[in-house]
Amino acid sequence: MQDNEWFAGSQDSDLGQIITRGRLFAKSQKQFDSFPMRIEIQWQYKGVGENGMPTDKEAELTEHAMNTLTDIVERKDIAILSAIHMGGNRAWFVYYARSIDEMSALINETFNHFPKLPIQIGATKDAQWSDYQSLLKTFGI
pLDDT per residue as tens digits for the range 105-122:
999 999 999 999 999 999
pLDDT per residue as tens digits for the range 62-93:
999 999 999 999 999 999 999 999 999 999 99
Identify any residues that bridge with 70 across adjacent strands, giving them in sequence order: none
Pick the CATH number of 6-138 from 3.20.20.70, 3.90.470.10, 3.30.70.100, 3.40.630.30: 3.30.70.100
DSSP 60-99: HHHHHHHHHHHHHHHHTTSEEEEEEEEETTEEEEEEEES-
